[in-house]
Structure 1
Amino acid sequence: MNKQRNDLNIGDIDNLDSDFNKYSTKRFNDILKKQNLEQFKTQSKQDLGNVLLTGTTGFLGMHLLHEFIKNENGKIYCMLRKGRHTDVEKRLKSLLFYYFDNSYDELFNSKIHVIEGDVTNIDDFKKKHLHFQLILL
């Protein structure tokens, strides 16, 4: 069996080097210098705003949701696939109670919004008209 190879020639490598040298890393390095423990201690907490959380029913997703409920002011949109469950909201409440002994009933439809959908289906995003600033996958 004869396989074709896509070899780079020396001219291509020289072009890659010159393209790379056009970009400055100074701004990136300046940002990194500011990211240290002392800087972290002096900064004030910034609100996350409204968040879309996928993977909510997994271990990490449930804990991210719980931390958001306790510490943030925005709304959290939890996208859940229906799967074999008939009611995704009941499923989420059940899992919240399982993990944290609280189903947070009073927060549903005000702070917690459950969306039935699949993160891999763009139409699920289009039909919901969601307003969020951050996506946690």
Structure 2
Amino acid sequence: MKNTVVLIIGLILFISGCINTNSTYETWGQKHVSIDLISFRNSTPGEHTFYKENLYYVIEGYLLNKNPHDALSVKINVTGYDSNGTIVVYNSTPEIYPKVIPGKGKSRFYARLLDPDKKVVRYDVKIFGAKSEY
């Protein structure tokens, strides 16, 4: 009887995953989001437009999330360059809707770069951070 009880308890622990011999550096159920699997796809080329009496270079597109989990608190820099490749302006707070990029989904992306002298001729979008949980 005593051996049967020990065997049943051992079997329950083994099946439940409480005894895990794999060495990992993560908590059970922890989600990971790779920023390498988040990309930008523009829907229109950048263009100059007026907004509230100022001239802006406007970029619109989508952020695509190829991760299986939602991407939260995505951090992005948008940099505008002149014809010589010199940085003219940057925006570190573009608008993303919805703010949480669904796993295997996309969010709309919109950025304005203040450019009163129409110097911006190209831009670069860099994704440098994202979380999988709050």
**Structure (1 or 2) with the greater strand fraction:** 2
Whether the TM-score (by the shorter chain) exceeds 0.5 is no
For Structure 1 versus Structure 2, the TM-score category normalised by the shorter chain is under 0.3
* More helix by percentage: 1
